[in-house]
Amino acid sequence: MNRVRLDKWLWAARFFKTRSLAAEAIDAGHVEVNGEKAKRSRLVQRGDTLRLRRPPFEHVVQVTALSDSRGSATVAAGLYQESDSSRQARESLAAQLRSVGPSAFREKGRPGKKERRDIDRWRDRGS
């Protein structure tokens, strides 16, 4: 196997849960192969560099192996090598998002049970 369709490879490497989700991301322009926007039928080969944008994260990976079937997570991790700068940026962003907390992303609506308890605890601390 020298080449595999991009959508199949992304699904096999476990970047997306289904092949159709991988295809939607490719069609939306969230995936680049060697610096160029790609179509889902693009054939990837070993050594290709992929840039995947899955907001708020971005992955820059190099294809190290090919597979068109989905395997375990350990097998999937062997299909690519993530660049050090990409990994560091992703980990620092994840740490920032954890420090902000989930309540910062709540857009609208009444607070749920957990949010109400958090608000009550916060108010009790002030008095």
- Whichever domain contains 51, its CATH number is 3.10.290.10
Q: Could you read off the pLDDT of 65-114 as tens digits, one per residue?
A: 999 999 999 999 999 999 999 999 999 988 888 887 666 566 677 888 99
Q: What single-letter DSSP state applies at residue 62? A: E
Percent share of the chain, pLDDT over 70? 92
Cis previous bond, 56, omega within 30: yes
pLDDT at 96: 86
Beta strands 31-33 and 36-37 are: antiparallel
* 43: β partners: 5
Q: What single-letter DSSP state applies at residue 104? A: G
| H or E segment and range at residue 31 | strand 31-33
pLDDT at 99: 81
Q: Which two tokens stand for residue 101?
A: 């907390």
The residue range of the domain holding 119 is 4-105+112-126
DSSP per-residue string spanning 60-82: EEEE----SS---HHHHHTTEEE
Q: Which two tokens stand for residue 108?
A: 């609208």
Number of separate domains in the chain: 1
pTM for the structure as a whole: 0.76
pLDDT at 83: 93
